Amino acid sequence: MSEKSFLTKFVEAGFTRIEILETSENKRTRNRNAYVVTLVAQKAPATLRASLEKKTKPVLSRENASQVLKECWVFPVAPETCNLACTHCLYAASPRTRNPYRVSAGELAGLLAQTEAIGAKPHFLFTGGEPTLHPELYDFLETVDQKGYSFQLMTNGTRIQKESAQRLAKLSHLTKVQVSLESPDPKINDSIYGTGLYQRVLKAVDILRESDVPVTFAVTPMEMNEDGLRDIEALAETKGADVKYIHLYELGAARENGLQPSREILTGKGETRVELMCDKGVAYSEGAFYPCPVLVKEPVAKLGDTLEQALSPEARRKVAGLQEKHAACQVCLKGST
Amino acid sequence: MEATAKTIGDHSPAEIRELVRCKYSEVARSPRLKYKFRVGREYALDLGYPAQTIHTLPERMAEAFTGVSSFLARFQDFIPGDVILELGSGGGLDTALLAKRLGASTKIVGVDLSLDMVQRAARSLGELKLSHVYYTQAVAEELPVRDNSVDWVVSNGIFNLSPEKERILAEIHRVLKPKGHVLCSEIVLYQEPSPEERLNEDDWFK
């Protein structure tokens, strides 16, 4: 039994917070292939166990995709393409990165044709990077809207203008615009996003709300913003917005900056359902499919260039393998998104 | 292990458990014989058990020691009042060290699949006058312990001896209180064994 399979057994048996406390030499036997690990783990709360048990229900495959493919994440620009450089960005996006990739209208049409071909009607999530940096973004949203797919837009809000808000208001299948905000305290928020961003984001929220566009604050609970997290729901209420809590993944800038997730467990309104993104969806980024939006810059996670490939038995085995060993997957498994 | 025509792959989990039980009963009765794995006081010292604390215990406790790490004896996160269940308590070295360190408000239960081991450990209890330690014979796959009743389950090298690791973990999960903890030291492999190695009984105790 390897360390990996030993740890996996604890996850499967309903344990959480599994931590290796020590590794030491095997002095018991002469087996050179062996060493000793000491680990501690905690019996998971019932809600988390239920989510782990849920994992045994059928997961995404070619055969069941028409029913099970519920989400399709789309990156109109490359994940690292952004006009901000947030300290916790899992793609280390910033205005300094130079990735020329932009989804073409033909690519989007191909993506829609592929989902149609398998008989799926997923919810589209336009994310990034900063998706509004794509010059044709609003045309794309209109295309998806006309096809009758529900969809949402995830943005930092800085490029939302009155005109764009009015365009968004006309889209009948737009479920929400998710705007990132990390704290009701401008000082804390701006230490993560950059100077003046708190005001700019809230102004965008006001513009969207004036046009009656549904808004959700996306919040990533971390050590650096956990003071005041409680008040963000009150702020959201005054703005007529919802709150969605997002996990911190130790990738990209978050890893470089050594950021730690908040120890507080928070649940946003109506966000108690726990399902893994990779069990119900795919992500499309830079011309290829990935299991989820978290892993789109991880070459090992690439599932193929077509939706058909991304749903193949080989690709699904790859996803199951990642779930076992990728550190980011452990974040989701411990209670997710 | 006696030479036998059967390899490990031919045995049912229950048969493997009986082989392990026999082997450890043999260790309990004759710890100084030569085994394919290390046993005893010198081995415990080599793993880092402090000589001065081992000296305070009856010699027979360390003499039948077969754990894989001294971590459990050093671990500091237990708190007075905890109920601790040790799986594979063997000669009782870890249980006794914990009991002495943590004091009488802590309740410690050691279980071992070998009755000879349990009797060996229990003999030392009277000498130590530790009234808050209990030993009983049981297999980890089927624990005689109520649901949600234990703060800590601890073990020092038991999983590598069981073909039914999932059953053990399900039992640990069952007996732990909500948010209870498990602490295990275990032998693991750098590489998964090949199917041939897995079937070779000779390798079982290596």
Contacts of B182 in chain A (CB under 8 A): 10, 15, 40-43
Q: Which of B78, B187, B191, B194 to mutate to test the interface with A (most CBs of A within 10 A)?
A: B187
Minimum-distance CB partner of A36 among B169, B185, B206:
B185
Give percent above pLDDT 70 in chain B.
89
Please tell me the predicted confidence (pLDDT) of residue B197: 64
CB contact under 8 A, B188 and A37: yes
Contacts of A1 in chain B (CB under 8 A): 159-160, 165, 188-189, 192
- Return the CATH number at B91: 3.40.50.150
Q: Is residue B48 part of a domain?
A: yes
**CB contact, 8 Å: A1 with chain B?**
yes
> pLDDT tens-digit profile of A199-243?
999 999 999 999 999 999 999 988 888 887 878 989 999 999 999
Buried b (16+ CB within 10 A) or exposed e, A270-293: eeeebbbbbbbbbbbbbebbbbbb
Q: Is 0.95 exceeded by the ipTM?
A: no
Minimum-distance CB partner of A33 among B157, B185, B191:
B191
CB contact under 8 A, A42 and B191: no
Nearest CA in chain B to A14: B173
Q: Angle at the Cα of A229 (from A227 to A233), degrees rounded to 5?
A: 150
Distance CA B63, CA B40 (A): 4
**CB contact, 8 Å: A305 with chain B?**
no
- Nearest residue to B13 (alpha-carbon basis) of B108, B140, B107: B140
**CB contact, 8 Å: A48 with chain B?**
no
Nearest CA in chain A to B71: A38
Within chain A, all domains assigned CATH 3.20.20.70 are found at 54-333
Distance CA A253, CA A145 (A): 34
Residue A30 phi/psi, 5-degree rounding, is -90, 5
Contacts of B160 in chain A (CB under 8 A): 1
Domain A54-333 coded CATH 3.20.20.70:
yes
Contacts of B76 in chain A (CB under 8 A): none
Which residue in this structure is represented by tokens 């009983």? B136
| Amino acid identity at B2 | E
pTM more than 0.95: no
Please report which confidence band the pLDDT of residue A335 belongs to, taking 50, 70 and 90 as the band edges: low
The yes-or-no verdict on residue B194 having pLDDT over 80 is no
> pLDDT tens-digit profile of A136-184?
999 999 999 999 999 999 999 999 999 999 999 999 999 999 999 999 9
Greatest pairwise CA separation for chain A in angstroms: 73
Q: Is residue B1 part of a domain?
A: no
Question: Mean pLDDT score of chain A, rounded to an integer?
Answer: 89
| Amino acid identity at A82 | C
Q: Is residue B188 part of a domain?
A: yes
- Chain A: closest CA distance from residue B14 (Å): 19
Please report which confidence band the pLDDT of residue A264 belongs to, taking 50, 70 and 90 as the band edges: low
The domain tally of chain B equals: 1
Range of the domain at B173: 8-203
Q: What does each C-alpha distance from B130 to B84, B95, B108 come to in angstroms?
A: 15, 10, 10
Please tell me the predicted confidence (pLDDT) of residue A25: 94
> pLDDT tens-digit profile of B118-159?
999 999 888 888 889 999 999 999 999 999 999 999 999 999
Nearest CA in chain B to A7: B188
CB contact under 8 A, A38 and B37: no
- Chain A: closest CA distance from residue B79 (Å): 15
Query: What one-character-per-residue DSSP string does B144-166 give?
Result: ---TT-EEEEEEES-GGG-S-HH
> pLDDT tens-digit profile of A19-40?
899 999 999 998 888 999 999 9
> pLDDT tens-digit profile of B8-45?
667 888 889 999 999 999 999 999 999 989 999 999 99
Give the tokens for residue A4: 């990996």
Please tell me the predicted confidence (pLDDT) of residue A247: 85
Contacts of B157 in chain A (CB under 8 A): 28, 36
Nearest CA in chain B to A10: B169
Q: Is residue B186 part of a domain?
A: yes
Which residue in this structure is represented by tokens 């994992």? A55
Question: Mean pLDDT score of chain B, rounded to an integer?
Answer: 89
Please tell me the predicted confidence (pLDDT) of residue A48: 61
Minimum-distance CB partner of B191 among A2, A12, A26:
A2
The yes-or-no verdict on residue A268 having pLDDT over 50 is no
Q: Which of B76, B179, B188 to mutate to test the interface with A (most CBs of A within 10 A)?
A: B188
Please tell me the predicted confidence (pLDDT) of residue B199: 56
List residues in chain B touching A: CB distance below 8 A.
36-38, 43, 46-47, 66-69, 71-72, 75, 77, 157, 159-160, 165-166, 169-170, 172-173, 176-193, 205-206
Distance CA A53, CA A72 (A): 24
Please tell me the predicted confidence (pLDDT) of residue A50: 58
Q: Is residue B2 part of a domain?
A: no
The yes-or-no verdict on residue A271 having pLDDT over 50 is no
Q: What does each C-alpha distance from A283 to A73, A121, A179, B66 come to in angstroms?
A: 4, 15, 19, 50
Please tell me the predicted confidence (pLDDT) of residue A215: 97
